[in-house]
Structure 1
Amino acid sequence: MLKYDTKESRDRKVVLKDVDSQCVKKCIDFIYSGKLEIPDGSIIELLHVAMMMQLDDVKQAVSNILEESITIENYFSTRNVGDIYGLTDVSLRCRIFLQENIMEISDQAGFESIDKDHLLGLLKSGELKLWEEEKLALSLKWIDKCQSKNEYLHEFLKVIKLDLIFPAYLQQMLETHPRISNDSELYMLFSGHILKASVKAKEDNDADKLIILFDGDTKCLRSFNPITEEIEKFHGAKFDFPMGFTAISLDSYIYVFCKAKSVHRLNFQRKNSKWERMNDMICDHGIAPSSVCSTGSIIVIGGTGDTEKADVERFDPSVNQWFLLRHKPSAISNASLVSLDDSIYCIGGWRDGIEVSSFCRLTPSSAEWVDLEPMRCPADRCGVVAVDQEIFVTGGYGYSEDDIFHNVECYNVTSAQWTSLSSMNLPHCINSAYRIGNWIFVVNEFWESHHIEKYDLLNKKWCNMKKKPSHLFDVCASVMVKL
């Protein structure tokens, strides 16, 4: 300034206006001594004076102090100083500090001043060591503080991996955050990820499940793997029951119910185990009695074939004992049973010489029966399986043995309504249905018609099996087990 033809050059004097006199003195002292003392609370004023006096050493000293004193509380003020005065090192240190402490900084006033594209870049780059839940919470907090439109949230969600977020957290956000619940597109997005996570959890839980097929030709058990769709020999113990029986699994055992009240079981977890005879049922339910597992017990209801029964009994495997329960209000044969929550649902069957569409619910704890909305199509010996709060009913017999159904119906327990679904590719009369992962497998158990079909729960359609069985045999019963 004093080198050129200016007023300050002619007067040999420079006037500094609007500056702190004490800071000016400290700068002059630094010129002569090389030592810098910063007055309390005057670091910004000192930097301002140093910039005016073009004292780069003072500027660097102040920059070093700012770098070393960044805190959560002063982050934004320090960042602003670095940006305003061109302190590159301070700005760089602030960027690093933001990456390391962004969740705490997000609670401070000024968080909304962070540039959207900068925050998006951080989330996308992986520089933030955050869980996906934290990234979602951070994005929502920034948008709320900025009072921005929801279109920004859509941008943030493109760089957040929702499939890595716990479904319970997604459900909480869906229920409590209006930006999500009031946006139909976001609502569907979150709901879809919650459903997929639920299905994946179910698949993980079902990873060791097999469908066991009773080979009527060799009297051996074979396993159907729902993942590979391979059929292999399952256990060395052969069965010699008369044809016409049902099977269910409970814990480590497969139970078989035959005519003349007889009951047998096999511990399928033990390699060298044999079939053992259990105590007989109290009542004669005919051949292939209708049975279901419920809260650690086995329930048998009604009769089979032309034998209509109202008898209901419960088996306690811990004591090998049968107990009579209150009769069903009306006799039935060939009904299908499924357990859901604390209730047993009795579906279809045969009464007075014809198939019926009856549908009722038993609460075992109170022995109370309640009639429900009947099925749309009368049928007996249907396959039935519960999926969450829905009951799927597959195939069965119609009014004659030649009338075998492709039909599939679904009952929603919450809405108490039946819905007709797409038909199976093949007819299934006597069949069993099993839910494994996001699939329903239907196994036909009638003479030589031993085909298996699968239903895609996510896409709501029947699919072809990946491969046909390498050998065919007479499936006379089936049961699902977990290894």
Structure 2
Amino acid sequence: MMALKEEYSLDIDEIVHMRKIFKNLDSMRKQRKNCDLIINVEGKQIHANRDILCAASDYFNAMFSHDTTEKENGIVEMQGVSYIALQKCVNFIYTGKLSTCENGCEELLYAAALLQLVDVCDKIQPFLVSTLDCKSFFAIRKIGEKFSLPELTARCDNFAIDNLQSVAGNEHFAELDYEYVSHLLRSSAAIADSKLSIGLKWMNYNPKERDAYLMEMVSLIDMSKISRAYCRQLAESEPLCKRSAEFMTKIVLALTAPEEPVVADREEHSVQEFISSHDSLILFHEDTIRTYILDDKRLKRQEFSSPVRSEVFSTCVFGNDVYAVLWNSTQIYALNTESWKWRQLSDSNRYHDAYLQCVAHDGKIYVGGENQLQRFDIALDEWQTVDLDSTVCNLSSLVVYKNRLYIIGGLIEEFGIRAVSSCFLDLLLWEKELQLCIARHSSSATVFNDRIYVAGGESFFDETIETVALYNFEMYDDRTKTWTELPQMLNPRTDFRLLVVNQKLCAVGCGTGRSCIDVFDPEEGKWSDHPNKLIRDISIAGMATVSFHAGVR
């Protein structure tokens, strides 16, 4: 008897071997060679090999493990499933490759779940999450509920909570039930005005059946935080509210209650504690948010990651929210400074070019640039175009002072201008005001101690030289109706922000390459360079710099 000899393993790549075999099997299948199974679906046929389908799918394995009609005649009739989705699943079994589009995900997920292709189901969920936006949210959430996918459903819920205003702007928002809408309102960090507006919007889709939810929905919202302007608007023009005596009583109480500052929670090491006792300077970068407590001698910093990615955007503050209007875009976001969560609001119906400015007042945001002016109603989540008449609003500064919107300076052709125009916000009728001392564009303006301050920008001093950044600083006193030149800034600045921080004026950011802060003390009447160098070495995302006092509406 011949002795057994030792065997040696040959160096053959089994993955390459299996890939070659399945490639040949797939080619034979497509040519309908040696196929022993036909799947009839939606009047079309899919040819395959039953052993291969049984090895890949528990559905087919169970079917052909018993004496069934399908096992006997080799024909499977499938109802309620898409031919395209089923074909994709069979192709995946043979090739390991799969592709889909957003609109085909539900049908593909149904087919994969039916065939018990776990790998396919697991890959579809992250794809759906990656396509989640304010339009796709409704369809994706239905898929999560239909196929009992708790992780996908939770991701949809978190998205809706963080982007409630934009989700509520979709027509399918009306199809949500009260339990889910109340969950969103209870969980959202949106301001009280927005929450109430969203709840009323949902009810007004079907007021006869939904008005019974009014007071229950109101109980989810802190009525003490509803702005007086929105209270007046509801009392005057919202039929749903006017029909409820109980609601109108709450409105009267809100309008007559004394306004008190909101006291921040004293949770140790919380963000709110960090900024509650001082004005805070918030600087936005490409992917981070930095808050600074600023005074003459010290500078504390706390940093947070930011999901909003933009090289430049303009900002303003209303309530506890910072609003960011993106340049070269139609988008606007809100950052809640209690939860530090972003939410996307309704897109503008006009494209925002670069170098725009914005200002918030009485629940509305005014956005100006490229000789366009728009007004965004925070509570209603709606945009409106404001007629400028002949007023120039191009690289101009915007401020609100004594219920008037001021457009200051600007650019005509290549030259800065001294023009100042204003209008009452209730009437939006424009009037010419006293001109600036210095012609300028790309400057910054703010209101402090009942005066308007304007600083920096660019201008020509004569037509033979190039435009230059300005040191110039001036003030408008409404009592004397005059502009007065004040001591110049220490650094020339353009495309920056002039902010009120702890009873002083701070010039932050600069288009001339320096990011240091110049501080103006109105009592001393002079500028100083902030001594702390922490802020010198940062790169600010354009005009995205704001100042506010936490908790003050």
Q: Distance in 1 between matches of 2:276 and 2:288?
A: 24
Distance 1:451 1:381 in 2: 18
Partner in structure 1 of residue 356 of structure 2: 289
* Aligned match of 2:407: 346
Superposed displacement of residue 268, structure 1: 2.1
The structure 2 residue matched to 1:262, chosen from 320, 331, 344, is 331
In 2, the alpha carbon distance for the partners of 1:239 and 1:425 equals 33
Note closer, same or farther for the CA distance 1:238–1:482 as it changes in structure 2 (3 Å cut).
Answer: farther
Cα offset, 1:255, TM superposition: 1.1
| Residue 478 of structure 1, CA deviation | 0.4
Alpha-carbon deviation of 1:238? 3.9
1:317, distance to aligned residue in structure 2 (A): 1.1
Deviation of 1:392 after TM superposition, in Å, equals: 0.8
Distance, in Å, in 2 between the alignment partners of 1:334 and 1:474 is 22
Aligned residue number for residue 444 of structure 1: 509
CA change 1:332–1:466 in 2 (3 A) is same
Secondary structure, in 3 states, of the residue corresponding to 1:469? helix
The equivalences for 1:230-309 within 5 A come to 230-241=299-310, 243-258=311-326, 259-271=328-340, 273=341, 275-303=342-370, 309=371
The 3 A distance-change label for structure 1 pair 367 and 471 is closer
Could you list the runs of 5+ residues in structure 2 that have no partner in the other structure?
A: 1-260, 262-274
1:81-134 Cα distance to aligned partner (Å, 9 max, x none) = xxxxxxxxxxxxxxxxxxxxxxxxxxxxxxxxxxxxxxxxxxxxxxxxxxxxxx
- The residue that corresponds to 1:319 in the other structure is 380
Deviation at 1:269, TM superposition (A): 1.2
Establish whether residue 383 from structure 1 lines up as the match of residue 444 from structure 2. yes
CA contact 1:385–1:391 (8 Å) conserved in 2:
yes
- Return the offset for 1:348: 0.7
Q: 1:393 aligns with which of 449, 454, 460?
A: 454
Q: Which amino acid aligns with 1:300?
A: V
Q: Alpha-carbon deviation of 1:239?
A: 2.7
What is the CA–CA distance in structure 1 between the aligned matches of 2:479 and 2:491, rounded to whole Å? 30
**Number of corresponding residues:** 269
Q: Deviations over 1:18-46 (max 9, x none)?
A: xxxxxxxxxxxxxxxxxxxxxxxxxxxxx
Residues 436/471 of structure 1: CA separation in 2 closer, same or farther (3 Å cut): closer
CA contact under 8 A between 1:211 and 1:479: conserved in structure 2? yes
Question: What are the equivalent positions in structure 2 for 1:174-189 lying under 5 Å apart?
Answer: none
Q: Shift of residue 283 of structure 1?
A: 2.4
Matched-pair contact (CA < 8 Å) for 2:516–2:535: no
Equivalent residue for 2:478? 413
Q: Is the alpha carbon distance of 1:239 and 1:472 closer, same or farther for their aligned partners in structure 2, counting shifts above 3 Å?
A: farther
Following TM superposition, by how much is the alpha carbon of 1:325 offset from its aligned partner in structure 2, in angstroms? Answer: 2.5
Deviation readout 1:373-421 (Å, 9 max, x if unpaired) = 1111111111211123211111111237750111001111121111111
Deviation of 1:206 (Å): 9.0
Structure-2 change in CA distance of 1:389 and 1:336 (3 Å): same
SS of residue in 2 equivalent to 1:315 = strand
Q: What's the CA shift for 1:313?
A: 2.0
Contact 1:282/1:313 (8 A) holds in 2: no
CA distance in 1, matches of 2:276, 2:418: 32
Contact map agreement 1:446 1:475 (CA 8 A) in 2: no
Deviation at 1:215, TM superposition (A): 2.4
Aligned-pair CA distance for 1:435: 1.8
Q: CA deviation at 1:453?
A: 0.7
SS of the counterpart of 2:329?
coil
Q: Is the 8 A contact 2:373 2:393 kept in 1?
A: no
C-alpha deviation, 1:326, in angstroms? 2.5
CA contact (8 A) 2:398 2:405 kept: yes
Quick check: 1:257–1:288 contact (8 Å CA) kept in 2?
Answer: no
Q: Distance in 1 between matches of 2:452 and 2:410?
A: 16
1:425 maps to 490
Code of the residue aligned with 2:520 in structure 1: it is: Y
Which blocks of at least 5 consecutive residues in structure 1 are unaligned?
Answer: 1-200, 304-308
CA separation in 1, counterparts of 2:536 and 2:489?
23
Tell me the TM-score normalized by structure 1: 0.52
Residue identity in the other structure for 1:256: A
Equivalent residue in structure 2 for 1:474, among 533, 539, 542? 539
**Pair member with larger Rg:** 1
Deviation at 1:290, TM superposition (A): 1.7
Q: Classify the secondary structure of the residue corresponding to 2:333.
A: strand
Q: Deviations over 1:268-289 (max 9, x none)?
A: 2104x2x322111232341242
Matched position secondary structure for 1:366? coil
Question: Does the 8 A contact of 1:431 with 1:445 survive in 2?
Answer: yes
Cα distance change, pair 392–339 in 1 and its aligned pair in 2 (3 A): same
Q: How far apart, in 2, do the equivalents of 1:462 and 1:292 lie?
A: 25
Give the residue type in structure 2 aligned to 1:212: I
Give the counterpart letter for 1:396 in structure 2.
G
Note closer, same or farther for the CA distance 1:402–1:474 as it changes in structure 2 (3 Å cut): farther
Task: Write the distance in 1 (CA, Å) between the matches of 2:354 and 2:522.
Answer: 33
For the residues of structure 2 that align with 1:438 and 1:478, how far apart are their CA atoms?
Answer: 17
Q: Distance in 2 between matches of 1:326 and 1:350?
A: 18
* Residue number among 499, 518, 528 corresponding to 1:463 in the alignment: 528
* Distance in 2 of aligned mates of 1:417 and 1:291: 25
Identify which of 275, 280, 294 aligns with 1:210.
280
Q: How large is the RMSD of aligned CA atoms in angstroms?
A: 2.3
Query: CA 1:234/1:344 → structure 2, altered by over 3 Å: closer, same or farther?
Result: farther
Scaled by the length of structure 2, the TM-score of the pair is 0.46
Structure 1 position 355 matched with structure 2 position 423? no
Helix, strand or coil for the counterpart of 2:469? Answer: coil
Q: Which amino acid aligns with 2:361?
A: S
| In 2, Cα distance between equivalents of 1:473 and 1:464 | 16
Q: Deviations over 1:323-381 (max 9, x none)?
A: 22233423431110111121111111111221111111121100111111111111111
Identity of aligned residues (%): 18
CA distance in 1, matches of 2:440, 2:396: 9
State the 1:434 CA deviation: 1.4
Cα deviation digits, residues 431-474 of structure 1 (max 9, x gap): 11112343111112437421111001111111232322266121
